[in-house]
Amino acid sequence: MDNATVTDAHNQTGDEDPAVPPRPANPNTRYHTRKARDAEARAAHAAASRQWRRALAAAAFNRDDQKRLLNAIRNGTTVANAARDLGLTHQAIYKRASWDTRFGNQLERALAETCPAGTHCGKPSGARFYHGHCHACRIAKRHPTTE
Ligand SMILES: [Zn+2]
């Protein structure tokens, strides 16, 4: 390739001001390199950060760990204790269940199978007095409208 070809390829449009570098197309790149804080850049940065955090979470709490947690719950261990045995918190488990729907469904099934509330399941008393931990009991505890 000779010099003339390089120059021609570089000045294809010819109307760019060399003092002003072209605006990066990726809003997340603008967030980092230009300190752009407009809504588009902030949203792109948040999405990239979320994707990164979820990739870390997926690596730290993999399918084998999930199986161990679900087996522990089926054997009567609480979510908090089962999580602690894996070096996690119950908040981390429920957060994971909120976006990892496959795991979330498995967790809710295990909690429903082992809910100790019996006939009080799904009522405020189920969670309050019988340690009901299934989805229905947790909702009833948060919104005690019926008994
Ligand atoms: Zn229940």
Here the tokens at position 76 are 């009567």
Task: Work out the pLDDT band at 9, boundaries 50, 70, 90.
Answer: very low
> Which parts of 1-146 fold into alpha helices (H)?
3-10, 27-33, 39-60, 63-74, 79-85, 90-99, 101-113, 124-130, 135-142
On the question of pLDDT at 7 being above 60, the answer is no
For residue 26, the CA-to-ligand 1 centroid distance in Å is 47
Q: How far is the CA of 62 from the centre of ligand 1 (A)?
A: 27
Amino acid at 38: D
Tell me the CA–centroid distance for residue 125 and ligand 1, in Å: 10
**Against a cut of 0.75, is the pTM above it?**
no
The rounded distance, in Å, linking the Cα atoms of 79 and 132 is: 12
Quote the CA–CA distance of 31 and 91 in Å, as a whole number: 30
| Ligand 1 midpoint to CA 114 (Å) | 8
Q: Please give the pLDDT value at position 5.
A: 42
Structure tokens at 28: 């997340």
Residue pair 1/8 in contact (Cβ under 8 Å)? The answer is no
3-class secondary structure, 91: helix
Q: How confident is the model at residue 147 (pLDDT cuts 50, 70, 90)?
A: low
Asked whether residue 25 carries a pLDDT value surpassing 90, the answer given is no
CA of 46 to the centre of ligand 1 (A): 36
Whole-number average pLDDT of the chain = 86
Distance from residue 134's CA to the centre of ligand 1 (Å): 4
Q: What is the pLDDT of residue 68?
A: 97
CA of 61 to the centre of ligand 1 (A): 26
Mean pLDDT of 118-146: 89
Distance set, CA 21 to CA 6, 33, 34 (Å): 19, 12, 11
Across the range 105-131, mean pLDDT stands at 94
Between the CA of 87 and the centroid of ligand 1 the distance, in Å, is 26
**For residue range 63-76, what is the model confidence (pLDDT) as tens digits?**
999 999 999 999 99
Q: How far is the CA of 12 from the centre of ligand 1 (A)?
A: 68
pLDDT at 8: 42
Mean pLDDT of 84-99: 94
Calpha distance 56→78 (Å, rounded): 25
